[in-house]
Chains A and B, each alone.
Chain A
Amino acid sequence: MSRINKLDLDPVTVRKARSLARKAGRPIVNLARQHTTVSVERAVLRLAGLTGADADGIPWVNRLADTVRADVGLEHGLALPVWDALLRGEAEDLEVLAQKAATGSVTFRLPEGRDAVRARSASRKVVAAGIKQIDARRRERDRLIKKHGDPEQRPWIYLIVATGDIYEDIPQAQAAAREGADVIAVIRSTGQSLLDYVPEGATREGFAGTYATQENFRLMRAALDESSRELGRYIRLTNYASGLCMPEIATLAGLQRLDMMLNDSMYGILFRDINPIRTFVDQRFSRQIHARAGIIINTGEDNYLTTADAVEAAHTVTVSQLLNEYFAKEAGLGDWQLGLGHAFEINPDIPDSFRLELAHAMLARQLFPDAPLKWMPPTRHMTGDVFRGYLLDGFFNLVGAMTGQGILLVGMMTEAVVTPWISDRDLALQNVRYVMGAAGNLHEDFHPPADGFIANRARQVLAESVELLERIVVDHGLLNAIADGTFGLMRRPADAGKGLDGVAKKSGAYYNPATELLEAGQ
């Protein structure tokens, strides 16, 4: 990756953009610190080792959380009432306690004084063991990467598997790795983001994707460990920490050594109509987990361009990247963990569309020199003309090569036609290999003139980003900007959206051992 300042961006403007993002983001972080959610609290129970589900498939963490909430409310956190009940001898372990809670044979209270101190330290001890497991998984990853090696080239080749059946996904993922994929993403079943629980066990039924469950994570990671051994390079596994259960899914990803997680600060708000406060609270916790687990996050700026115009809205991508960077670093993630997203979505019929794409991609590259940027293929202007689509994907790959992207999601010429066929994937990888082989080092020669179209366009987008951030900071704040449809043209007010009833303002007695341990470790 070349670190030369190719675009000649004004460092003062860049610093200003970052400081505005910090100003816009800080009130959100404060808001997130002041609240908790049902999913954050359930993630604490998962870190404490509570797994499994009742006969109806409702996880024990949900059963227990719901009962505690009904007895004492959510605002104090679950740790104190739950471990207080265990210390009072209501049950020998969490699972039995959850079962008893589900049948109504145990009542929870908020412990005070010495009882509270004891519950606090008991919960902390158990949750610390869960975090130790995440640490062990991280060390295991480091060891395996050392043993098998990283991919030889950048960008890493990222391929998607999505059958709905984990036992079909496994051979497909292994085949994709053999064909050249460095990263396998298992797309989730549509609709999972709006479930307020994480399904249990290995699943074989999903729409347009496979459910994210702890067991599915385990099965796929084991299969890709096998592939890593066979291929002599570490194959990374990706899933989605998004939707109503993102803190829990992040936790499960840490426990099962997933390597990357889709984790955008605003995606759920904008595209799933999840309540903004719920999202920002869940976001912060899940990013703290990802930071600890050594997971690379992938942000979702590409999505804005599927609803808004990719030229007019280019600066909203930059603004979102800056915000995602701020939120990520505040949560303890390092630059190497920031797979900031952007996409090749400019209408190919407009003049100079390729130069505009180059300008936007270079701007992202230069603003975030140490982040493994995630470069996303065209979807909006893939029309069903597979021949034209194949050419478009070639140009997408070329931009990826010329601008030193970190992670390249392989575009399929049958986008918007069918879920990828085996031949589509093979042709797509031939496309990537050809472009990388023929032009992979072109960035060494590619220095657009400082007064040329590309540099000017990049400066213009940066200037528009600064303007938008100024408006957000001065006028009305980020929550209002989201409510006004600034991002992706979606209007999402802070007092509406799904999952709002799962948010509570923390009381003075609130305690969360996981947050305490994660923040102490930063």
Chain B
Amino acid sequence: MSIIRPYGDTTGDGMVQLSFTLPVPHDKRAEGAAVQLANKMGIDPALVVHSKAMGPDFTFFVVYGPVHHLVDTDKVEVLERDHPLLSPKEANLLIRKGLRRRLTVVGACIGTDAHTVGIDAILNIKGFAGEKGLEYYREIKVVNLGAQVAVPELVRRAKHEKADAILVSQVVTQREAHLLNTKEMSAAFREAYSEDTRPLLVAGGPRFTEQMAAELGVDRVFSRGTTPGEVASYLVDALVTKRQHPIRKKTA
């Protein structure tokens, strides 16, 4: 079945809940305005189940009701994984056979973001969601630069470590700082490396969507809830199986 509607307690009832604030004092007219907004959003009839003044000039609403819209799941676009999900053991084996050296990953929180939760979840041995981080992979060398790393410093360390892949994380952001920082990062790497030698660029964080990769100038974007295993599988696929970046003469 590809045509669906939201589910409350009966198939096809279309029930949703939402909450919002309107910049009007709390009175009958405000409730009418909330109903009008909900109607325009496709909720009809709209049931204002709660309204409360937020100071003299604002009113908060909780609204329940059925939406009329239908969703066609066949028309949903997602970035499907086109490579196998590997266990740490499988990933190690593929790297050892295919690369014949350890794969080097340099990770950092760039810009002014001091929240290393994201990059640590992926890199630290402790990991995330029951999966061990990349430090656990014997064939992956992890250099975690931590928080507030300036882009030039990241490029310098990437060169020094001969990085195969760069992982940057952006957690706390305002006014699209995560997008600006990531674009700055990808531009700097493109300037410092030729296209066929530059490391694989990977960005991650809760405010990114996976479709953003091209816009940001990175090879791959990971969004909320990504596990270390997913990142490792992608790195192995891109760097070992598909040999995307970087093309490097074999050294010892």
Contacts and interface: CB of A to CB of B under 8 A. Distances in A.
Interface string A140-167: 0000000000000000000000001000
B177 A208 contact: yes
A191 B21 contact: no
Interface of B is mostly: loop
Interface stretch (A47-55, A320-328, A421-429): A421-429
For the side of the interface on B, what is the size category?
Answer: 20 to 34
A421 B177 contact: no
Contact of B116 (A272, A307, A309, A427): A307
Contacts of B120: 307
Interface string A208-220: 1000000000000
Given A306-B115, A416-B206, A490-B146, A422 B177 contact: no
A321 to B, nearest CB: 21
Interface in B155-214: 171-175, 177, 206
Nearest to B20: A423
A190 B126 contact: no
Nearest to A209: B174
Nearest to B174: A208
Contacts of A426: 52, 54, 60
A384 B224 contact: yes
A194 B148 contact: yes
B144 to A, nearest CB: 10
A273 B174 contact: no
Contact of A207 (B114, B124, B174): B174
Contacts, number: 65
Interface string A259-295: 0000000000001110000000000000000000000
Interface in A396-432: 416, 419, 421-423, 426-427
Contacts of B58: 422-423
B114 A272 contact: yes
Contact of B21 (A175, A306, A423): A423
Given A179-B55, A306-B117, A421 B148 contact: no
Contacts of A175: 55
Contacts of B126: 309
B147 interface: yes
A18 B201 CA distance: 48
Contacts of A490: 146
Interface string B8-25: 000000000001110000
Contacts of A419: 174
Contacts of B44: none
Interface in B112-127: 112-117, 120, 124, 126
A423 B19 contact: yes
A384 B174 contact: no
Contact of A164 (B117, B124, B174): B174
Interface in A173-194: 175, 178-179, 190-191, 194
B173 A208 contact: yes
A506 interface: no
A164 B58 CA distance: 22
Contacts of A380: 117
Contacts of B174: 164, 207-208, 419
B54 A190 contact: no
A173 to B, nearest CB: 13
Contacts of B55: 175, 178-179, 422
A384 B117 CA distance: 14
A215 to B, nearest CB: 22
A309 B124 CA distance: 12
A483 B57 CA distance: 52
A273 B117 CA distance: 17
B147 A273 contact: yes
Contacts of B115: 306
Interface in B202-252: 206, 224
Nearest to B180: A207
Q: Which residue, of A380, A423, A489, has the highest number of chain B Cβ atoms within 10 A? A: A423
A335 B116 CA distance: 33
B56 to A, nearest CB: 9
A208 B54 contact: no
Contacts of B147: 271-273
B49 to A, nearest CB: 15
Interface in A190-248: 190-191, 194, 207-208
A175 B54 CA distance: 10
B148 A273 contact: yes
A374 B120 CA distance: 26
A207 B147 CA distance: 17
A208 B114 contact: no
Interface string B108-152: 000111111100100010100000000000000000001110000
Closest 4 pairs (CB-CB, A-B): A190-B112, A191-B112, A208-B174, A423-B60
Interface of A: 164, 175, 178-179, 190-191, 194, 207-208, 271-273, 306-307, 309, 380, 384, 416, 419, 421-423, 426-427, 489-490
9 contacts: A190-B112, A190-B172, A190-B177, A207-B112, A306-B115, A384-B224, A422-B54, A423-B54, A489-B124
Given A208-B112, A273-B148, A423-B21, 13 more contacts: A190-B112, A190-B114, A207-B177, A208-B172, A271-B147, A272-B147, A306-B115, A307-B116, A384-B206, A384-B224, A421-B21, A423-B54, A426-B52
